[in-house]
Structure 1
Amino acid sequence: MLIEQHLTWLGSGSGALLDIHGHSEAALAGSLARTVASSISGLSHLPVESTVTLVRPDGTPCIGANTEGTAVELSRRDHRTGHGPTARALGGRLSIILNDRAPDPRWPDYCGSLTAAGYRSAVAIPLHLERGYRAALTLYSATANIFTPVVAAKVLVFGGVAAKSLRLALKHRADLALSAEHRATLASSAAINTACGVLMGQKGCSYEAAHRILEEESRQRNLTIRGVAEWLLQVLPGGVPTSHFTARA
């Protein structure tokens, strides 16, 4: 039997967050999957396996799991084919398979794969993210009817906390990347501006002419303008031989 509904999550009303961390988006998804599997197993008093399917803004997916194995393959195939609870959750809908013996007629192949993998129940919920990301949390159990209305309600509340935690983790990672990019841009600009100043003093040319000298040398050396600028600064205070740079005013 399959239960499904359109899910609009309005928040858990709690400031609680899950402790998830990782050096990449895939690592964050895996950290969340492990945390969720441990917590939901405690709620249901039965072991469950968890996957988090995260789709990046460019459409490329990554899947994190509490353990590598059949659950990952099921979620990957589900997303790839578009037929199954994970794909449905990525579209914003909740799906619960309570008993594999009453499969949804729309997903005969998926339900067959679910049974063959040794699972009898599955639930997939959307994790509402930002910045073009989409995600689905999918839980699998070898026990039929494990996701009863009481357990499913707890899973939904927990899913809200999981989504909030993942949103913040992704934002923090993006902010760090932006900060690093900004620092690199500032460093590049500083090196180029300083090198142009050196050339202006040596050749008595304008900033624009000095920048064109760096551009020409970057083409000849197959280096970035920043690379040429940093090379010039490394040879100070002796300066750069005139033969290496030809002013083009």
Structure 2
Amino acid sequence: MMAKKSRDARLSEAFVKLADTLVDDYDVVDLLDTLVQQCTVLVDSDAGGLLIADTDGWLQLIASTNEDAEFVEIIQLNAGEGPCVDAFETGKGVTVADISEEDRWPAFCDAATKHGFQSMHAFPLRLRGQTIGAMGLFSVTTGELSEPDLAIAQALADVATIGILQERSLRDSTIVTDQLQRALDSRVTIEQAKGVIAAQTGADMHTSFTILRDYARRNRLKLSIVAEDVAERTLIIPALAPVSTA
């Protein structure tokens, strides 16, 4: 169904979904998860991961589309080098058309190829002179993204960054940093909640996150609050809760 839609229609839906997350008291984790999910689909990538900087300026994983991308991003973080690290430090996009021929980041390249990825593109989350993170899109085939695809992915990343930095006039860098740190802290609870849902339903971790996120959206609750209730066993999400594909 998605393949039959025009590029304009798919792009419009992506911006609408991003805008829908930018409501009052929005959830940063939900926003960034929506960003990487939509970009992965729009530019025909196979997986994606998103990193943001903590209060000390170190990148941390905040969202991913599957466990393979999550593992590769974690390896990149542990090594302290890779396309997303470069994109974050330079504020510029990084293209790796063939990971097997890349020698700048051996630990990252080894992990990526072992998990079936052959190319990767990294995009900074930036606004003017401020960069708060980076997004990586992975593909199981070699090759570069087209100029339109590169522009679309960077535009969506820019929109999400603007939402984070300017929503409710959050222009003070200290306030923005604190907000992002709270998002990173909440991810620990989200991981615990995913484990609880996986144990209750038999779903994998990615599907468990989707169940958690969809419950929060349907009930207009913050993802972090729902995750805390699930982790503390004060909320049991039905095993057959609807799961979206976005």
Q: Name the TM-score, length of structure 1 as normaliser.
A: 0.52
Instruction: Report the alpha carbon displacement of residue 87 of structure 1 after superposing the two structures with TM.
Output: 0.4
User: Matches of 1:173 and 1:37 in 2, distance apart?
Assistant: 28
SS in 1 for 2:151: helix
Counterpart of 1:27 (choices 30, 46, 49) is 30
Counterpart pick for 2:163 among 150, 164, 168:
168
Work out whether residues 93 and 122 of structure 2, in 8 Å CA contact, stay in contact via their aligned partners in 1. yes
> For the structure 1 residues 133 and 90, does the alpha-carbon distance in structure 2 shift closer, same or farther, using more than 3 Å as the test?
closer
CA deviation map 1:43-65 (0-9, x unaligned): xxxx4212221224553644344
Residue 124, structure 1, aligned to residue 122, structure 2: yes
Tell me the number of residue pairs that the alignment of Structure 1 and Structure 2 aligns. 152
* Structure 2 counterpart of 1:36, from 28, 34, 39: 39
Q: 1:94–1:124: 8 Å Cα contact kept in structure 2? A: yes
Corresponding residue number in structure 2 for 1:112: 110
2:161 partner letter: L
In the alignment, residue 32 of structure 2 is paired with which amino acid? Answer: A
Equivalence for 2:95: 96
After TM superposition, give the deviation of residue 116 of structure 1 in Å: 0.4
**Compared with structure 1, are the counterparts of its residues 87 and 137 closer, same or farther at alpha carbon in structure 2 (3 Å cutoff)?**
same
Q: Which runs of 5+ in 2 are unaligned?
A: 1-13, 176-246
- Structure 1 gap segments, 5+ residues each: 1-15, 42-46, 179-249
The one-letter code matched in structure 1 to 2:34 is S
- Percent identity for Structure 1 against Structure 2: 20
Counterpart position of 1:50? 48
**Higher share in helix:** 2
Q: CA offset at residue 68 of structure 1?
A: 3.0
Does the 8 A contact of 2:92 with 2:123 survive in 1? yes
Letter in 1 for 2:153: F
Q: What residue number does 1:155 align with?
A: 150
Q: CA deviation at 1:76?
A: 2.7
Q: What CA distance in whole angstroms lies between the structure 2 residues aligned with 1:33 and 1:55?
A: 16
Encode CA deviations 1:103-131: one digit per residue, 9 max, x unaligned. Answer: 2x221221111100110010112121379
Q: Which has the larger radius of gyration?
A: 1
SS at match of 2:74: helix
User: Once the two structures are superposed, what CA deviation does each residue of 1:121-165 show, in whole Å capped at 9, x if it has no partner?
Assistant: 1011212137965121210011111x24xx145313431343123
